[in-house]
A = this chain, B = another copy of it.
């Protein structure tokens, strides 16, 4: 077998066998296939696509490229959740306690942030003392007793995807549904859960630009899950503005706490209720998604998720006082209001620009070596559809940086103020399960 011939084959739109895909991925991981041949192959895949069988084979080879986690020592309904990534996405921090309070178990691995999107691990580490380097034994104990735990990623989970993604990232071959699907699913399959819920972000700055693409991606991921005997569903949610109000690490912890106490922003609360409702349906805890959402509302109101969150923070060595009295969390020295220069309505908010403003304020890292400032970030007070007066507050910057002009300008430029009324964007568009796509407006309120 020669990589040259396999590039040629894919270029001509021909089908690759499982053996051929294994040869490509293992050869690339072992450095016998060079980056330039892999890059040409990926671009050929971009244009010619992959069949279902090819996608299944690719996913399987990637899963087996590293460790596969066994959750045999965890009892109960084992679920996992993944988001395709967004600005202000603190969903996991709210959803996992809600899932645990609903009778599910989640042994979750999360990443750190890079660029304009934050990472769950960074957010949790803004709670003093919080430990994200648990041993396998600690993970098992906490998940069995509390219902969930969140840990940093183990180094050897799907190494083929890591190497492949790094190459896709510099060769403009990220945005292909088959490659996105196999990348996401290989990581979830290696993580060992039986039920997998994927939060697919839709928006101008996201991988997935519209609902149609979101449905297509969802169907591929559900099919991959099926071929591995895993139950998969997706929620298509909106990333045309930051999720909730807060962007930045301790600011997002505060918002998560508020949401768990039933006082969070409606968009974040709704998304978490839908996600949990879908999971309750997927796992058979409820008969329909609608009943799952209704049950989730009741469970959130009961206060049980907040109790789970407190237990979780305590188990992972975090300072419970700091989440009980969030004023004890790190605070930025500067709190700068950003006010509108014109009157009208918020037509759109560039989520990516808000993410970059938070990064400039100190909330993120541009390279892996950068240190983050847990107190820094942006609070978006105005949302799409809101009316704005000239000089009215639209957002607040929290920062310890000397120079703040560029941050202010970037936040202001992210807000597009228009003269005609804009309609509010729903936080969730719909759900995709094995049965197909279900629009969700009715369930949201």
Contact = CB atoms under 8 A, between A and B. Distances in A.
A423 interface: no
A1 interface: no
B35 A172 contact: no
Contacts of A40: 39-40, 42-43, 171-173
Contact of A8 (B7, B39, B44, B172): B172
Contact of A46 (B4, B11, B173): B11
Interface string A179-207: 00000000000000000000000000000
Interface of A: 4, 7-8, 11, 34-40, 42-44, 46-47, 167, 170-173
Given A11-B43, A172-B11, A36 B4 contact: no
A352 to B, nearest CB: 16
Contacts of A39: 35-37, 39-40, 43, 171
A318 to B, nearest CB: 39
Of all A-B residue pairs in the complex, the 4 with the closest CB atoms, nearest first, are A43-B43, A40-B171, A35-B36, A36-B39
Nearest to A11: B172
B4 A170 contact: yes
A44 B46 CA distance: 9
B37 A34 contact: no
Contacts of A4: 170-172
Contacts of A37: 39, 170-171
Contacts of A42: 40
A173 B4 CA distance: 10
A274 to B, nearest CB: 33
A274 B34 CA distance: 45
A440 to B, nearest CB: 32
Given A4-B170, A36-B38, A43-B47, 4 more contacts: A7-B171, A11-B172, A36-B36, A40-B40
Contacts of A43: 11, 39-40, 43-44, 47
A42 B36 CA distance: 11
14 contacts: A4-B170, A7-B172, A8-B172, A11-B43, A11-B172, A36-B36, A36-B39, A36-B167, A36-B171, A39-B39, A39-B171, A40-B171, A43-B43, A44-B46
A172 B11 CA distance: 8
A171 B42 CA distance: 11
Contacts of A38: 36
A377 to B, nearest CB: 28
Which residue, of A36, A46, A170, A173, has the highest number of chain B Cβ atoms within 10 A? Answer: A36
A74 to B, nearest CB: 41
A11 B172 CA distance: 8
A54 B37 CA distance: 24
A115 to B, nearest CB: 14
Contacts of A35: 34-36, 39
Nearest to A38: B36
A7 B173 CA distance: 9
A172 to B, nearest CB: 4
A421 B47 CA distance: 43
A389 B40 CA distance: 49
A42 B11 CA distance: 12
Nearest to A3: B170
Nearest to A35: B36
Contacts of A7: 171-172
A110 to B, nearest CB: 27
Which residue, of A11, A37, A39, A42, has the highest number of chain B Cβ atoms within 10 A? Answer: A39
Contacts of A170: 4, 36-37
Nearest to A42: B40
A46 to B, nearest CB: 7
A38 B36 CA distance: 8
Contacts of A47: 43-44, 47
A42 B167 CA distance: 16
